[in-house]
Amino acid sequence: MFKSDRQKYNKERIFPINATGKVESEVFPTNFIKTSKYNIVTFLPLSLLGQFRRYANIYFLFIAIIQSFPIISPLNPISAIAPLVFVLGLSMIREAMEDISRHKSDNEVNAMECTKIVNNKQVKTTWADVRVGDLLFVSENEMFPADIIVLTSYFESGVCYIETSSLDGEKNLKPKSAIKETQTLFQYKEVDSKIQMSMTGNQQLKAQGNPPTPALGDFEGSIHFQNGSKKVLNGKQLLLRGAFLRNTKFIVGVIVYTGEDTKIMRNAEPSRIKQSTIEGVMNKLILGILGVQIIACALSAVLSSWWLYKSFSKHIYIIISESNYTLLSAIAFFSFFLLYNTMIPISLVVSMEFVKVFQCYFINKDWDMYSSKRDKFAKAQTSTINEELGQVEYVFSDKTGTLTCNQMEFKYCIIGDILYGKSDKSKNMTESISNKNNAQQDPAQFKHSVFNFQDPILTGIIENSQDCQRYSDQQRKLMIQSTDKTTTLEIKTQKQLVHEYLMLLSSAHECIAQKDKNSQIVYQGPSPDEITLVDAAMNLGYRFEGQSANEQEFTIKGKQKKVELLSQFEFDSNRKRMSVIIKDNGVYKLYIKGADSIIKARLRPDQPFLGFIQNKLSEFSTIGLRTLLMAMKILSEQEYLAFERQKEALASSENREQEREELANNLEKDLYLLGATAVEDKLQDDVPETIADLLKANIKVWMLTGDKLETAENIAKSCRLIQHDFMVMKYSETDLNKLRVQLSENKLTYQACIRERKKKSVLVEGEALVILTANQQLKREFTKMAMGCDSVVCCRVTPKQKAEVVHLVKNLNKITLAIGDGANDVNMIQEAHIGIGLYGNEGMRAVQSSDYALGEFRFLWKLLLIHGNWSYIRISEMILYFFYKNMIFTVPQFLFSFYSAYSAQTYFDDWYITFYNLFFTSLPLIARATLDRSVYYKINVRNQDYTDIYKKSTQYLKGKFPLLYSVGQKQTIFTLSNFIFWWGQGFIHGVFVFFITYACFDTEFVNIEGQNAGFATLSITAYTAIIFIVDIKIALYTKFWTCVNVITLLLFSVGIYIAYFFVSNYFRGTYSEFTPIYLIQSPTFYLIIALLNCIVFIFDLVINAVLHEFYSTETDKIIKWRREFKEIAREGNVLQKIEMMQQGKRENGQRDWGDTFYEQILDERLKSERDQNIFDEQQAILDSKAQHYATSPVNLDNSDQSNRQFHQRTELQQIPHPLQNNNAKIINYQMTKQQQQNFNNVNEDSKINHPQQQKMYVR
């Protein structure tokens, strides 16, 4: 649907609920969905139009057009048209296949069946045929065909459950409910196991809805009844197209949005096509090459005119008038433009597309990035920015679910001024989290929450244990009054306070209770935190059983309990709190939970527990726990009724959401503090190591989280984002003047760190960040400081602020990457150059919005440092090589014009020109750009006796890999200087090819037929030499060979060319007719090709030798070391060879890149030998004692002596040996038969049993 159509429907709608099936005039869009782009008629023009949005295709179309004019073109038009058609054809075939798939999908969706209620009868129809206002009957597990307002449900309460995984990726069921006024409008009966619905009475109803928006939860509407009354509707009544009805037998609803107006279609905007930095630079270089081409054409045209002016009088066959010089110059310019168009390779773009698709395939199938916990491989969802992965300078990471597991464990709860929960103060934060991080977790146990909470006192209070009576009866005297002071709830004892606290946990949430296959209650909710708290309440005896639209059910200590659910204000990232109003035993209670800073600001001033709770929250933050405050309030009946009237009045307001928020703000104040919760979120595997390597790779890591500053700081320390030697600068003030002072102090600290070369980090709170970025001067100073730090932690930030922080850095021309797992990370993921979504516990929104998807944070290491680095190098070298091979091909054409009277005569045959880029030289380059790798960190184990050394060599190399990442960050390969260098090589090599070929085939050359070398002989010889030079150069620059490289080089390049070489011998009317048959019989032909290759590659080898000698890179050092180590390890005796080599280096005063590793291996061997010598001495003593103990007589009547001898023997068995930590081989030390028999007899007679009967020794 076009934008103008959408504008037409972007207004509030009022429509009759159509119970008769009468088709009204079309005011709203139909429900027919069309996601396909083309049909049979429009495919060709529209697809072509899309292809010519690329400047390169426009350029080659221009070439094809002017080549079609015989007066201009020296070439056959087919030689320009064929490559263009081939390239466009490949792209259009891909487009057609994708669009055919979209057509099939559209047809399947539009033909899906649904049930419409017409005149109290259920009628089958298709999705495409339903309209706004139609009544639909939807059964369990059926998908909603449009956005529907639920009017009635199978459950009397009106509640129903939907799954929205196809919309937002969240598999947790969401409760929706019909309002009670519409729930009674319908009645049903079952006939032959089929449900028949009918509408009670003849109601004339109208529905109202706000303009369609993409926000999934945004809906404001109302139902207008025949008597003039109306009832307010909101997102709780909206069922979205594409969602499924679950755990509910049926619902009846009225369609409010169809087709393009539905939420799912409003969110189906075309994804942004991201262009990599390299591609942007390449486009600029192409424009530069075009400029050079124009200059070369102009020069050739001027020389052509000059030659004609000077020579036409000498050559009577040239007939020209002076008035035609301008026209002839223009014709010559365009003729040369055609001849030199090979400067810009036509197959470069399509070749890059193929390479990037293959790169994505290898990312998707990389077992090193497979998450067994999630059962997910990495997934590349875009192929256009693979090389950008190798250029990242800033990583922006969410905390919860990204650095941590989002697997919550209920650790502590504070009720009043008493802390409950098992405390282990012997471990600090880093130890605690790191140990859990290193522990291998069972994928089956990867759940939202873990409950290991233990506190016998709290359990005793809940269970009325006599042993805990004194704790239960502890006096409280907490008087909770309504605002108008007409209603009071008196909490006299700790037991009553615990009850209110646990009622809050079990009722103030958005979770759904379900039963698993074992009939056990499991909860689904919007976040793991929410589930953890409800699960904790259940495990403490307050089990939430479920809820309807206006009722909640519980099982408390085995007894059933019901309360009225009157209202609910959901959690969102701006409110940072959620609350419910319930009616419990006639008392109106507001329960609320939320972030400590939010709840604290809404408390009454006289809070007896606040001081204690604040101190404990500070302690919790230092060990990285996530905390929430719990509070409540009592409402009088008058206050509640006034609230309901205000809520009803929102129906007629144009700003319902804002006024609803204001209503909640007014209600959620003057609160009474009950307590707090502390939940632990564990670090994911290898997070500290991954971040340490990213920092080593000079990638700045910024953590953006909604947690408080202390918690964020401690998590940052535990994952090594802030290390022990970092200087930390904090921004936490919310007053502008105080923040200026803080900034000035931090500037001095920052400058001192630069002078002393200390590492530094910034911690900034969200409110301070708002002030800093609002003032331009402060923004510049803060940004400069933050950009210079090794890491930055932004805490208490909203999703919008996350995106703003990314935008701040992105605008400074830095390559940014954002990684997160939740819906609140989508903004920053889409803002960054590269967005990475993690498969997590918070749905698939982040994954769906990302460019790449990963199972765990640690896989970022390989995605960036391996795949990213390789992709950058491969694509960069591919582009440079494309321009090189086209330059070497174009130069002979340019030079030939000087020997052909500047007549725009082509040097190569038309078909040779056509096939050069398409077939003869592209495939080996594509294979190299797909498979080549400069160096890899894994070394395969070949000698099993040295497995440990191989493993250590792999770890050593892996630790060095971050140093290689600067190649892409600094863009050291695809630079202007490198481009000029490669283009210059192409120019020089082209000069060699032309003049050496020209010189060798002088007039004295005679072929087997007695003929002199002609123009075709020079042309084909030069062309053949170029093919071999280009292919051999690819072979020399290939670092990693596979069978694919060999096949593409020998078969699909050289092989195809040789085949064409022979076939072209029989092409009539071409330069090559009968020439190849003579050339293959001429020794001169082979000598010229060999000579040219030798000259070219001697030239290359000299340049490379100079570069390696004076400009050696880290990659060169690693390649050299790998080769050296593999040579050492090839035949065994690794340690002896290393020792001899290091001794030789010490004698010569040399020290190489890998000496640190060799010295480490030798030091470990010396330590092992020293420990072995010590052990040999101990073993001799132990052997002697063992023999003595085994043969000495035992007095069985003396139990003391027997026990003493036994302990002496077991002492020998239990002595630890130092070599056990060095992976030494463990063998059983065997006694002599007599010693063993004596030893066993002693134990048998002593009647002492012990599991160890043999001594274990380490050799």
Structure tokens at 196: 């028949």
Query: Does the structure show a pLDDT above 60 at 321?
Result: no
Q: Element (H or E) spanning 930, and its range? A: helix 922-931
Q: What is the reported pLDDT for 479?
A: 87
Banded pLDDT at 1221 (limits 50, 70, 90) = very low
Rounded distance, CA 27 to CA 36, Å? 24
Task: Look at 75 and 277; give whichever has higher pLDDT.
Answer: 277
pLDDT mean over 6-11:
59
Euclidean distance between CA atoms 870 and 933, whole angstroms: 6
Residue 259: per-residue pLDDT = 86
pLDDT value at position 840?
73
pLDDT in tens, 945-983: 555 666 666 666 777 778 888 888 888 888 888 899 999
Structure tokens at 263: 């939420």
Tell me what pLDDT residue 718 has: 80
Catalytic residue among 99, 134, 168, 398: 398
CB 1229 within 8 A of CB 1256: yes
Give the model's pLDDT for residue 1224: 36
Q: What phi-psi label fits residue 632: left (phi over 0), alpha (psi between -120 and 50 degrees) or beta? A: beta
pLDDT at 592: 95
Assess whether pLDDT exceeds 70 at residue 1218: no
- Structure-token match 């010889």, residue found: 1021
Q: How many CA atoms lie within 13 A of 131 on its CB side?
A: 16
HSE-CB of 1056 using CA atoms within 13 angstroms: 19
Element (H, E) at 223: strand 221-224
Closest CA to 630 of 583, 571, 666, 672: 672
Segment 651-666, tens digit of pLDDT:
666 677 788 888 889 8
pLDDT the model gives residue 1010: 56
User: Between 547 and 923, whose confidence is greater?
Assistant: 923
> What residue ranges in 615-671 does DSSP mark as E strands?
626-635
CA–CA separation, 1241 and 1193 (whole Å): 11
Q: Is the pLDDT of residue 94 over 80?
A: no
How far apart CA 653 and CA 232 sit, in angstroms, is 10
Output the DSSP codes for 44-112. HHHHHHHHTTSHHHHHHHHHHHHTT-TTT-SS-THHHHHHHHHHHHHHHHHHHHHHHHHHHHHHHHHT-
What is the reported pTM? 0.72
Phi, psi of 213 (to 5 degrees): -135, 160
pLDDT higher than 60, residue 357? yes
When pLDDT is cut at 50, 70 and 90, the band that residue 707 belongs to is confident
| Low-confidence winner among 332-336, 863-867, 1245-1249 (lowest mean pLDDT) | 1245-1249
> What pLDDT is recorded for position 1245?
42
Q: Assign 396 a pLDDT band (cuts: 50, 70, 90).
A: very high
* pLDDT value at residue 937: 63
Q: At residue 175, what are phi and psi to the nearest 5 degrees?
A: -80, 135
Model confidence over 505-536: pLDDT tens digits?
A: 999 988 888 777 777 888 877 777 888 899 99
Which of 467-481, 661-675, 1006-1020 bottoms out in mean pLDDT, i.e. has the lowest? 1006-1020
Residue 876 has a CB neighbour count (10 Å cut-off) of 25
pLDDT at residue 96 in the model: 85
Alpha-carbon torsion, ordered 930, 932, 934, 940, to 10 deg: 110
What's the count of helices (H) and strands (E) in the chain, helices before strands?
Answer: 44, 40
pLDDT grade for 1253, boundaries at 50, 70 and 90: very low
Identify whether the C-beta of residue 931 lies closer than 8 Å to the C-beta of residue 1045: yes
Consecutive H or E run containing 252: strand 250-257
- Residue 631: band (very low, low, confident or very high) from pLDDT cuts 50, 70, 90: very high
Binding site residue list? 398-400, 530, 571, 593, 626, 705-707, 796, 802, 821, 824-825
Q: DSSP string covering 836-872, please?
A: EEE--SS-SHHHHT-SEEESSGGGHHHIIIIIIHHHH
**447, 441, 450: which is closest to 410 by C-alpha?**
450
Note the pLDDT tens digit of each residue in 199-233.
776 677 888 888 888 777 788 888 888 887 888 88
For residue 925, report the phi and psi dihedrals to the nearest 5 degrees: -70, -40
- Give residue 438's pLDDT: 39
Q: What pLDDT does 103 receive?
A: 85
- Residue 898 pLDDT > 50, yes or no? yes
- Binding-site residues from annotation for ATP: 398-400, 530, 571, 593, 626, 705-707, 796, 802, 824-825
pLDDT per position as a tens digit, 138-163? 998 899 999 999 999 888 778 888 88
CA distance readout (Å), 772 to 785, 786, 995: 12, 12, 66
Active site residue 398: yes
At residue 1030 the predicted structure's pLDDT band, cuts being 50, 70 and 90, is very high
| Average pLDDT estimate for 107-112 | 88
pLDDT at 810 over 70: yes
How does the average pLDDT of the chain come out, rounded?
A: 79
The angle, 0 to 180 degrees and rounded to 10, between the axes of the packed helices 528-539 and 494-507 is: 140
Q: What is the pLDDT of residues 665-679, one digit of tens each?
A: 989 999 999 999 998
Sketch out the chain's domains with CATH numbers: 3-31+130-266 (2.70.150.10), 278-369+861-934+970-1111 (no CATH), 389-403+684-855 (3.40.50.1000), 416-424+449-680 (3.40.1110.10), 1167-1258 (no CATH)
Q: pLDDT value at position 1225? A: 34
Percent residues over pLDDT 90 in the chain: 16
pLDDT at 1163: 64
Q: Which residues fall within 8 angstroms of residue 1168, CB to CB, at 6 or more apart?
A: 1219, 1222, 1224
| Phi and psi based region of residue 487 (left: phi greater than 0; alpha: psi -120 to 50; beta: remaining) | beta
Read off the pLDDT band of 887 (50, 70, 90): very high
* pLDDT tens digits for range 566-577: 888 888 767 888
